[in-house]
Amino acid sequence: MRKIEQALINALRNQENLNKGNTSVEHFQDIKTPGFETDVISEVRLHGNLIAEFNRAANAITFYDCGWRSVTTKSRLNALLSEFAPGWSVVQRSSEWLLVKSPARDNHRIQLPFNGCATFRGGNLIRD
């Protein structure tokens, strides 16, 4: 993992703002949602484009490619996936991006098209 990606993960863990190079993290108090005491929404941006939103109270993170399917975007998304959805990654086959879940003990690999947006809660894919 790159130093900037480790700084990104640390900023999310510690609810600290980050503005380093082409990557930024900001935290916002969300309007109180029923069932949650306080929602802190963290936004991750790459070149000013929103690539991830993390809702700490719901333990949910949504990933976006913003139409920029670059090596850097994929690298940032994979760093976030390693932290919030272990075993999942974004890979490129030919020109198509895929969400891939590493094989478990049963050797079944999950491979889905990445349609530009995916949400995980507690490490599990809930919407793509």
Q: pTM of the entire structure? A: 0.87
Report pLDDT for 35.
60
Report pLDDT for 52.
97
Closest to 126 measured CA to CA, from 77, 36, 79, 63? 63
For the chain, which residues make up each domain, given as ranges? 3-127
H-run or E-run covering 45: strand 39-46
Give the end-to-end CA distance of the chain in Å, rounded to a whole number: 25
Q: What is the pLDDT of residues 72-88, one digit of tens each?
A: 999 999 999 999 999 99
Q: Which residue has the higher pLDDT, 31 or 66?
A: 66
